Amino acid sequence: MSKKVVIIDYGLGNLFSIKQACEHVGYSVEISCDPKKILKADGLILPGVGAFGNAMESLSSKNLISPIFEFIRTGRPFMGICLGMQLLFTESEEYGKQNGLNLLNGTIVKFPDFNLTNYRVPQIQWNKIFPSTRNSWAETPFRSIKAGEYMYFVHSYFAQQIDDGIILSLTKYANIEYPSAVLKDNILGIQFHPEKSSYEGLKIYRNWLK
């Protein structure tokens, strides 16, 4: 029997490409904002495209924050992608201070204006990911990925002031090295888009619930 994945529908997310990626690797997938369905999932995904404050407001208005917390307490796999990763942290500086879910300690900040031809904000490009020196990719959803593999990024903000112990991968943009993925217990946060990162990105979805 295939694993059941629920993708949270709160109005800001790249839902259907994530659904297709998960189905491609053999999961049964449903897009839903129903807390009952969320709590029955084998794996839960929080997607996200857009502004941090709008996303938190939407999660709150749809009464989705409590089900997310309850699901995570079960120990089952949870994944936040792009803005969905950023929402896991304490706060964001996007359009003034915005409170996040505070599942992970850290602050979301904007890339500076680099004034360099090859480095624009937002970062929209393929970029490399490398393991953190503190954490191996063995026994994680990244275990099939080679160091220096390219993944697809679209973002203006990144996480900082976080615990080195949760950093799964690092990426460099201009002169800034930042966490492109984090892992704490059953919580996986990914700044890039695995579903848009070709075969290597699909490996992450495939490994996630194994």
Q: Using alpha carbons, list the distances in angstroms from residue 137 to 102, 140, 146, 159.
A: 24, 5, 9, 20
Residue 24 annotated as catalytic: no
Among 22, 82, 94, 149, the active-site one is: 82
Chain centroid to Cα 64, Å, comes to 17
The DSSP symbol for 145 reads P
Among 22, 33, 94, 195, the active-site one is: 195
Residue 190 tokens, joined = 């990914």
Q: At what angle do helices 198-208 and 15-24 cross, to 10 degrees?
A: 70
Is 157 strand, coil or helix? strand
Measured between alpha carbons, how far is 197 from 49 in angstroms, rounded to an integer?
A: 16
Residue 33 annotated as catalytic: no
Tell me the catalytic residues.
Answer: 82, 193, 195
